[in-house]
Chains A and B, each alone.
Chain A
Amino acid sequence: MAITSEQNILKQVDGSATFQIDSTKVISSVTGPINVIRQRNEEPTSAFLSICVRPASGLPSTRESYLETKLKKIITPMINMEQYASTEIQIVVQILESGEREQFTCMELSCAVNSLYLALLNAGISLKASFLSSFCACKDGNIIVRPRMNELDFSTSHHVSVFSIVDGKSDELIYSDSLGKTTEDELFKVLDVISNDINKINESVRETILQGVVNDYIWKF
């Protein structure tokens, strides 16, 4: 399954990136640190994250707010929030193509996390660690990494995890979200599998970042 990603596509924002796994494509933008737009959001000791998720079609619903809270939980500990005291970091995640049915959010969440990571890097926001995400589905004890739409439909449980990256390898578990009937055994297996998969994703992502750095490097010979 193809992973494609690109950095620095949008010109008006500080950082932007797309990330695509199979038929799910997400574009994220990061602007910041900027002055807090609504005064009441200002926090004296840390940055305020405003995250906004927009669906591929239709108006934003509870599903999008659900994604927003999840993303906020994942991203907040990864950013050096204290460094940007009383500022705002404005994040927009636009889902361009949703490769899953409405009742699932795992593909979109995972792609959103990955594209946000690239966008944050592009915006030059100070991060505590690199992080990437992947997802899988389980059915009858089989684990399918990055399932397709119909594989997801017939699965008994699906999982999304985010791991930090250290020395080009997935390191610590940052976030894990499981839905459906699963056993403890299975869950640990799943985490192993996802951790391995993230190593693979990391190879492609690293290339994108490298490319991004080369493109941004203005003192070309």
Chain B
Amino acid sequence: MSHQELLSPEGFRYDGRRCNEQRNFNLELNTHPHAADGSAICSMGNTKVLSLLRGPTDSNDSGLSLSVSIIQPPYAKSDRVQVSKNDRRFAELSLMVQRTLLQSIVQKAYPRTNINIKLTILSADGSILAACVNSATAALVDAGIALYDTVTAITVGIHDISPLIDCNAIEEIDLPYLTIGTISNSKINLLLMESKTPLDKLQKMINLGTEGCIQIRNQLDIAIRKSAIKH
């Protein structure tokens, strides 16, 4: 895949989007009312993450213990590769999601409490971490856990000089990309970049990313309200 095709001179991306156009974002809350205390499915384009939350339950630890695990079943990707149980990448991702969420939970309201979140990547097409964070946040809201505010995340890639929001898997392979998560006030909570990028392009990416996070936040808000009316 050449770089030309990722962004055409007319400003269209490989899948026909514009630079600052998100993929179809869809969030459903309370998808599994019997299986979990809080559940949500978040889809960003073809990436789909299901989160099931159990808790708050009693624990022996003094504070709140939040555990997050991410599972990627073989059917998530077309090559059907089995992700090993102690895959370091997924261990790191779940750690990052856990720390990000922990910051938004009103911890003093949950002493000696366990909250357990299981994230299942139903289908992977880029922006996995972002989708996991969004989905887990929605699950927390669905379970009625007290939050200071919601954390939303999105990815930004960079093609030459134009930042591309919400990368899919093809763009993630070829372009350097950044996952950014913000909490209200556009304060950055989560930042992850694993590929080489010139320093001067970072500003552009972060700017677009925060914009994108606000968009996601609005959509999350709508989804929450919708589910609140339904129940």
Decide if A and B touch, CB cutoff 8 A: no
B: residues with CB less than 8 A from A are: none
